[in-house]
Amino acid sequence: MPIFGILGTIRFLSGDYLVVITAREKVGEFKGHQIYHIKETKSIAFNASMAHLDVNQKTDEVIYLATFKNAMANQFMYYSYTYDMTNSMQRQQNADLSLPLWKRADDRFHWNSYLQSHLGQALPTDVADRYQLPVIQGFLEVRECAIKTHRFTYVLLSRRSRFRVGTRYFSRGADEFGNVSNFVETEQMVFFSAKSGESAADVTKNGYWQFSHVQTRGSIPIFWAQVPNMKYVPVLKLPTNVDTLSAFKKHFEAQTATYGDQIVVNLVNKKKYEEPMGLAFNRYTQLLDDPRIHYLHFDFHQECSKMRWHRISILMDKIKDLLDAQSYYSAKVVEGSKPGSGTTTCAHRQTSVVRTNCMDCLDRTNVVQSVVARFVLTKLFRELNVLEPHENIDDFVPLETMLRNVWADHADAISIMYSGTGALKTDFTRTGQRTKDGVNSLVRYVKNNYLDGARQDGIDLMLGNYVVRPSGPSPFQMRWTLEAKVLFGCAAIALAMLFVGTVVPRADGYFSLAQTYYVVTWSAVLAACFYLGMKEHAYEFINWPKLVAYPYRPTSFRRRVVRKGGDKAKKQQ
């Protein structure tokens, strides 16, 4: 069995496991660095026997292993043996290159940091430095491109933060430390030869220019939640008994310290369901009163309704001056004999960042980020005299098509990591037009209500948010009420009978009176179970996380109070 790297160790009930990379795929190369996508991992037990565990512990051990394996099987984990995937090029400018990669990794994006926390102490220093690899979860695409006579390498790299990470409805808003859900740093990189049309040998000798521009996205940095309830639109909660301003302040203090001024683009609706979110974001921005925060509320759905996508230009006009002042990172690089051994001379630095959000920080955010990236790329090409002042990227069809597809791939990847499905609105990103997003919306509903609890458990295991301890009750015990169990059993029987009735051939035909009566009867039983489940036991049928308690999960006691107390109790809840 080949081993391409050590991710770390994790402890379950039977003891420690060594987690290693057993299959990889090279997905790109730039600056002489090869980037790999993790295809398969394996957890190797230090203890070959589980004889010391009782029956229940053995059952739990199997569940822990399966949950962890599913979390590690996601298709969005990347690493390099020579390139620091966790840091932007601008931050790498100040890095201590004498340190191994895992010691200079940005802790926010070092996804296997917890897995490596014990291994680094147990291994000899030279072994740990050689084999421990920092891994990111995110997105990478590398394209070789041309515009006019100029050849360049285009890279889009996103890093997902490991703090307050989770699935769509089980991870919203901020925590007390200012970390926010679905925080992603997206870096657009361009590598240009110093002179147009140079050969590879000339570029090595004369050097090349590297350019980088960073954007961020992240959940609205207040305490809030959308509690799954089996309905398409979940319950929106904004608790008032917490110190929201403190978390809000910590978030933006950390962001300004890392990126500089914040160009905050809030895309939520200004009316109806999302209105409280926009009002809260605006209110806390005013309370903080930080001149480094440039807040803009752009109601994406209102402004761009009826497929008026050109109206995104209204937003761009409002932030154009800030983007011009922001600039981008650029440097002249002359490589040495080995990657990273040459000289890098910085010419410009990016001084601020566009921080975009909608409710999910997915679909609307993806569209706006792709437009901002295109604006910056156009500005870069004009300043390099690659484009004339009157020319735009969309005048060059192959390049325009490449950018649309890369950003649509990026949108799908970020969306799958958070919501479980590809992004909505990527048809606009790919083609500039919209089709229907119904299928993805339906799949999101099913996954977010009935599957995401297990996915959240896997994330919490992998990141160390939950530490397995041999003592105490099993976290996997079912906690349904008797009524809910009976309803679920009846629904399962009804489904089974309908399946049998439609698959097994009948002598009197599928459209006979007896067959019709059979199907109608069992369909009515299934519908009744679904109705009663939605009305009385909706919260019990949700697939909740089992390892780390979800703070907004309603309790069985509160559900009984609502049922017995009528309208008054409902208002109190």
Residue 422's pLDDT band (cuts 50, 70, 90): confident
**Range with the poorest average pLDDT among 49-58, 403-412, 417-426:** 417-426
Q: Which of 18-22, 443-447, 486-490, 535-539 has the lowest mean pLDDT?
A: 535-539
- Residue 505's pLDDT is 64
Q: What is the pLDDT averaged over residues 276-280?
A: 98
The mean pLDDT value for 384-397 works out to: 93
In the numeric block, the tokens 């390049």 are attached to 399
pLDDT band at 340 (very low <50, low <70, confident <90, very high): low
Cβ(105)–Cβ(132) under 8 Å?
Answer: no
Place of tokens 């500005």: 379
pLDDT band at 570 (very low <50, low <70, confident <90, very high): very low
Query: Among 555, 218, 251, which residue's Cα sits nearest to residue 418?
Result: 218
* Least confident among 88-92, 184-188, 267-271, 569-573: 569-573
Q: Which tokens belong to 515?
A: 């067959």
Structure token digits, residue 304 = 């761009």
Share of the chain above pLDDT 90, in %: 64
Sorted by sequence, the CB contacts under 8 Å of residue 156 that are 6+ apart come out as: 139, 140, 141, 186, 187, 188, 189, 406, 407, 410
147: CB partners within 8 A, 6+ apart: 381, 386, 387, 396, 399
- Given pLDDT bands bounded at 50, 70 and 90, which one contains residue 256? very high
What pLDDT sits at residue 224?
98
Give, in order, the Cα–Cα distances in Å from 288 to each of 109, 238, 245, 267, 293. Answer: 27, 19, 8, 20, 9
Residue type, 137: Q
Q: Give the C-alpha separation, 172 to 418, whole Å.
A: 11
| Neighbour tally for 243: CB within 10 Å | 10
**Poorest-confidence range of 214-223, 304-313, 437-446?**
437-446
Q: What pLDDT score was predicted for residue 502?
A: 78
d(CA 250, CA 163): 14
Lowest mean pLDDT among 238-252, 315-329, 526-540, 547-561: 547-561
Range with the largest mean pLDDT of 71-85, 328-342, 445-459:
71-85
Q: What is the pLDDT of residues 540-558, one digit of tens each?
A: 778 899 999 999 988 753 3
- Tokens 């969005």 correspond to 76
Structure-token pair, residue 10 = 């994790």
Q: Would the pLDDT of 562 be above 50?
A: no
Q: Which of 32, 25, 4 is nearest to 337 (CA)?
A: 32
Three-state DSSP state, 2: coil
DSSP at 311: G
Type of residue found at 41:
T
Mean pLDDT of 454-482: 90
First to last CA, the chain: 56
Question: Residue 517 contacts by C-beta under 8 Å, 6 or more apart in sequence?
Answer: none
| 199 — pLDDT class (breaks 50, 70, 90) | very low
**C-alpha–C-alpha distance, residues 444 and 455, integer Å:** 13
pLDDT at 50 (0 to 100): 87
Least confident of 296-310, 370-384, 408-422, 471-485: 471-485
Average the pLDDT over 227-249 and give the result.
Answer: 92
* CA 437/CA 425 separation, integer angstroms: 7
Distance CA(123)–CA(18), nearest Å, equals 12
pLDDT band at 563 (very low <50, low <70, confident <90, very high): very low
- 92-136 per-position pLDDT tens digit: 999 998 899 999 999 999 999 999 998 867 677 777 787 889 999
pLDDT at 561: 34
Instruction: Report whether 542 contacts 450 (CB < 8 A).
Output: yes
Residue 99: both structure tokens together: 């340190």
